[in-house]
């Protein structure tokens, strides 16, 4: 009977000891588990390869880790599997202890396998009582001799909905050739990826090209005709990822995995995603989690959803936030044991069935921001769920050290959120979206962040023009918003510490000593009213020559900035600063424009909602994107026919 390997024991392909807690660890340091969250000792392995381990005599190793525990709850919930077979090829002397956990993070030893000869050991485990969460895993303890685990696999004889699934990996890149080639190299070295790979399509939208990178020839030699690089104008993430979707639909793949260019990958996750997607009872988007590129054991994004109340994306309640597996073991962290189901997955790594793409279309032409979350909502409306699958992940630069809502991307944050709400909000006028938007505008104005308000105003003005503007302007919108932003002083960033004059005020006390920082809501409302009133008073003349204060980013909130006539404010990552200057005239102009636009958006919401919904199939459809991407549809159709007639799945 044909079997399918669902998951196997692995170790990192990178020579980075910091990653070991994601693969193996020792005993829990706090023996009161499971009542107390605890860290684990470092794993003590005599040696290991990518898929095997030697445990020295007397040593104990746990594989209750992110990449090696088996996420039973997800297999129970989304696939027809009701049992799974654990198969171990081992030799030497020792014990393999089989554990399971519940959604409450209670852990139970359910079987002990005595290893006393060179051979295969297996046990069939029920996928029961996993409705709300829970994992399976093994621990291993060597006896008086070394214990060798040659292979540990989780297998099934259940046939998947799709047999021998094939994937296209679509990487969108813009001027990151070194990072992109590094990721390609990681994929090229993986036997698991090779089993499911149809093609890797790199969509290069920059002027520092991937094919010119020093190590590209070696990667190309390894991947051969499995690697294809397409160059096109910069159409943002949505344009690049749509090209990956398009090519996957043309080349006969079952799935496309959308992948950022600036990631490090655990290549095994690509095969796991493909097998899981093929086993799901219906078409399912399968996403990967995100770990921090800077702190490799820190889980930054787990399961996420768009809230209908606020129409804003974020982690679903009860899921771990910035969880460090080097400090807090999976075994003793309840939040990791819950079944966590969101309604979208970020496109840092996200697998979409090509059947779904053909049914609901490709990305909205958003350029960047909200394309992934909107697609997840659109898919859900068409009966396609999203699963962020544990054990499938990449490392990516986290957004905790940046705030792109204050730079040129503020336009896309505002426009695309509102467009997505017009199409998918279930509440009248987007629920709290518009009140939150007007409040945000006021806070930016009180902070003298005039460029941000100007971009957000433009975003609403463009929305009011209708959906046609998105395709028409996707290739030109970035220069346009950058030009608009550049008209305001808060957008003039300088990196040198002495780029601006020293702070000075015409008073005996510095601004730092006289600032008010109220916490009560009523007091903050009073501060907002005071800040508004100040814009009928001219700024102090001295504030035009000298900033009144240097403000670190952590303090750069409206309650502080509204009390200043000027300030040098650091950006979020500390790389530069801008000189904010209060300007009553600009304040009033932008406020009046913002109020006018928000009133019109509120008044026209039902009409615009109907218009954007009606245009969705055309805007996301093949013909519209072929025009935007500059693709000859007839030639593409002929090429697709050729691919289908010559491709054979192994």
Name the domain count of the chain: 3
Residues 79 and 49: beta-carbon distance below 8 Å: no
Q: SS3 helix, strand, coil % of the chain, rounded to 5? A: 40, 25, 35
Number of H helices, E strands in the chain: 21, 26
pLDDT of residue 38: 59
Is 161 within the bounds of a domain?
no
Asked whether residue 225 falls in the same domain as residue 286, the answer is yes
Asked whether residue 473 falls in the same domain as residue 503, the answer is yes
Q: Which residues contact 483 (CB under 8 A, 6 or more apart)?
A: none
Residue range of the domain that includes 191: 169-303+341-401
Asked whether residue 383 falls in the same domain as residue 449, the answer is no
Is 614 within the bounds of a domain?
no
Rounded distance between C-alpha atoms, residue 418 and residue 433, angstroms: 8
Is 603 within the bounds of a domain?
no
Rounded distance between C-alpha atoms, residue 205 and residue 235, angstroms: 7
Q: Domain ends where: 378, 401, 424?
A: 401
Is 637 within the bounds of a domain?
no
Is 615 within the bounds of a domain?
no
Asked whether residue 379 falls in the same domain as residue 434, the answer is no
Is 100 within the bounds of a domain?
yes
Asked whether residue 388 falls in the same domain as residue 281, the answer is yes
pLDDT of residue 513: 76
pLDDT along the chain (650 residues), means of 10: 93 94 86 52 90 96 98 98 98 98 95 96 96 97 97 97 98 98 98 98 98 97 98 98 98 98 97 99 98 96 96 94 93 94 98 99 98 99 98 92 88 99 98 97 97 99 98 97 97 93 82 78 85 88 93 92 94 92 97 98 98 98 97 60 34
Asked whether residue 134 falls in the same domain as residue 223, the answer is no
Asked whether residue 354 falls in the same domain as residue 482, the answer is no
Asked whether residue 62 falls in the same domain as residue 198, the answer is no
Residues 381 and 420: beta-carbon distance below 8 Å: no
Domain CATH number, residue 188: 3.90.550.60
Is 38 within the bounds of a domain?
yes
User: 174: helix, coil or strand?
Assistant: coil
Q: Domain ends where: 110, 131, 156?
A: 156
- β-pair partners for 152: 88
Asked whether residue 32 falls in the same domain as residue 79, the answer is yes
Rounded distance between C-alpha atoms, residue 22 and residue 39, angstroms: 12
pLDDT of residue 635: 55
Is 330 within the bounds of a domain?
no
pLDDT of residue 553: 93
Asked whether residue 512 falls in the same domain as residue 584, the answer is yes
Q: What is the model's pTM?
A: 0.93
Rounded distance between C-alpha atoms, residue 342 and residue 316, angstroms: 7
Asked whether residue 183 falls in the same domain as residue 288, the answer is yes
Asked whether residue 52 falls in the same domain as residue 27, the answer is yes
* Catalytically active residues, by annotation: 372
Q: Domain ends where: 366, 401, 436?
A: 401
pLDDT of residue 441: 98
pLDDT of residue 645: 33
Name the DSSP class of 442. H
Residues 90 and 96: beta-carbon distance below 8 Å: yes
């Amino acid at each position: 009977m044909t079997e399918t390997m669902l998951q196997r024991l692995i170790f990192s392909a990178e020579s980075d000891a910091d990653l070991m807690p994601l693969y193996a660890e020792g005993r829990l340091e706090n023996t009161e588990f499971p009542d107390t969250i605890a860290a684990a000792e470092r794993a003590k392995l005599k040696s290991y390869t990518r898929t095997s381990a030697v445990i020295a005599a007397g040593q104990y190793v746990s594989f209750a880790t992110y990449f090696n525990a088996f996420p039973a709850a997800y297999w129970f919930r989304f696939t027809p599997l009701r049992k799974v077979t654990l198969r171990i090829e081992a030799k030497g002397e020792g014990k393999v202890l089989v554990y399971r956990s519940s959604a409450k993070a209670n852990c139970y030893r359910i079987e002990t396998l005595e290893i006393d000869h060179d051979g295969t050991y297996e046990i069939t485990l029920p996928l029961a009582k996993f409705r709300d969460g829970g994992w399976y895993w093994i621990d291993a303890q060597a006896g008086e001799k070394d214990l060798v685990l040659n292979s540990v696999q989780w297998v099934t004889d259940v046939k998947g909905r799709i047999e021998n699934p094939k994937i296209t990996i679509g990487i969108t890149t813009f001027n990151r050739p070194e990072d992109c080639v590094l990721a390609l190299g990681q994929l090229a070295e993986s036997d698991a990826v090779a089993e499911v790979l149809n093609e890797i399509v790199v969509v290069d939208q920059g002027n520092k090209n991937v094919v010119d990178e020093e190590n590209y020839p070696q990667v190309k030699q390894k991947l051969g005709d499995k690697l294809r690089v397409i160059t096109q104008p910069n159409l943002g993430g949505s344009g690049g990822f749509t090209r990956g979707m398009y090519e996957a639909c043309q080349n006969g793949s079952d799935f496309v995995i959308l992948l950022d260019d600036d990631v490090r990958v655990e290549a095994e996750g690509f095969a796991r995603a493909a097998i899981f997607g093929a086993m799901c009872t219906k078409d399912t988007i399968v996403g990967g989690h995100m770990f921090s590129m800077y702190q490799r054991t820190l889980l930054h994004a787990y399961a996420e959803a768009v809230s209908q109340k606020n129409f804003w994306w974020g982690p679903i309640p009860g899921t771990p936030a910035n969880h460090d597996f080097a400090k807090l073991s999976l075994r003793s962290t309840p939040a990791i044991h819950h079944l966590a189901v969101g309604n979208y997955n970020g496109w840092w790594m996200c697998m979409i069935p090509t059947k779904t793409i053909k049914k609901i279309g490709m990305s909205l032409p958003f350029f960047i921001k909200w394309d992934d979350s909107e697609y997840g909502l659109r898919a859900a409306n068409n009966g396609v769920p999203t699963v962020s699958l544990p054990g499938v992940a990449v490392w990516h630069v986290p957004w905790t050290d940046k705030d792109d809502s204050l730079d040129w991307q503020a336009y896309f944050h505002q426009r695309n959120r509102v467009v997505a709400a017009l199409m998918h909000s279930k509440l009248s006028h987007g629920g709290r979206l518009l009140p939150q938007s007007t409040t945000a505008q006021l806070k930016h104005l009180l902070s003298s962040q005039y460029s941000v308000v100007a971009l957000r105003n433009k975003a609403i003005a463009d929305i009011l023009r209708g959906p046609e503007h998105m395709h028409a302007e996707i290739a030109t919108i970035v220069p346009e918003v950058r030009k608009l932003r550049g008209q305001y002083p808060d957008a003039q960033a300088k990196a040198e510490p002495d780029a601006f004059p020293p702070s000075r005020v015409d008073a005996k006390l510095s601004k730092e000593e006289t600032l008010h920082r109220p916490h009560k809501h009523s007091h903050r409302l009073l501060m907002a009213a005071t800040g508004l009133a100040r814009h009928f008073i001219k700024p102090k003349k001295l504030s035009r020559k000298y900033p009144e204060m240097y403000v670190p980013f952590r303090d750069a909130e409206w309650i502080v900035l509204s009390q200043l006539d000027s300030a040098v404010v650091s950006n979020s990552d500390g790389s530069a600063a801008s000189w904010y200057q209060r300007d009553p005239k600009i304040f009033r102009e932008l406020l009046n424009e913002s109020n006018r636009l928000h009133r019109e958006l509120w008044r026209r919401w039902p009409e615009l909602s109907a218009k954007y919904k009606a245009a969705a199939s055309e805007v996301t459809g093949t013909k519209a994107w072929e025009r935007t991407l500059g693709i000859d549809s007839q030639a593409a159709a002929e090429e697709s026919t050729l691919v289908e007639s010559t491709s054979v799945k192994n």
